[in-house]
Each structure stands twice: as C-alpha cells, then as structure tokens.
Amino acid sequence: MEILATLYDGLQNAVWLFFLLIGLWGTYRAVTGDGIDGSWMGAYTIGMGLIVVQAILICILWLTGGLSALDRPGIHFLYVAFSVIFPPFVYQVALKGDDSNRGMWVMSFTTLFMFGIAMRLINTGPI
C-alpha cells in the first residue's frame, strides 16, 4: 500500500503542474485570438486521464484501508470526484462543444480553476 500512496502523491504533483501549464497555454491561445484546436484538446484529455487515474488510486487506497494516514479522506474524495465531473461538464453542457475563441477563454479559466483545486487537494492533507 505504501507504493500506491507514493504514486498518489506523485500524481497529485503531476496534476497541478499539468493543469497549470495547459491553463497558461490556453490563456495564451485565447489572448492571441485562437480557438480550441486538437493539440490543446489532446493535452486537456491527457490531464483528465491523470485525474481519472488519481480517482482510481484513491478508491483502491480506500478499499484496502490505505487512507488511514489521511487527515480528512472524505475531502479528498470530494475534490477528486469534483475534478472528474467539472471540466467535461463545462465543455459539454456550458459550451456545448464550442471551439471558438470564447470556448478557449472558458476552458483556459476552467483548467486554471482545476489547478487551484489540485493545489487545494494537496493542502488538504497528504498521505
């Protein structure tokens, strides 16, 4: 279980860094008037994949009792569940798949918000 906890910690760092980078990249694209393209959407999809892997790891840790060292495991579940649901919801429901410059602004702010959520998850209490 120690290995899974170490992987979870490392993945937390990867998630906040990744979302910071694609958020800044998206903001640059929005400022220059570009819309959402395949390369940015591919990076966003990789970031969401990292969050899904993080969700799987926290579920495995919970099922095996590996969350005993965690201060508030319920808050970790809440943040991870929100992180899995929120960005696709924004793209599919709020933007309805809009890939214009407006969509790039919204998605860049969404990914920067996810950076903040990832940082808050780390500050909640490490494993």
Q: What is the pTM of this model?
A: 0.89
Q: pLDDT for 23-54, tens place per residue? A: 999 999 999 999 999 999 999 999 999 999 98
| pLDDT higher than threshold 80 for residue 1 | no
State how far the Cα of 118 lies from the Cα of 80, in Å rounded to an integer: 9
Number of domains forming the structure of the chain: 1
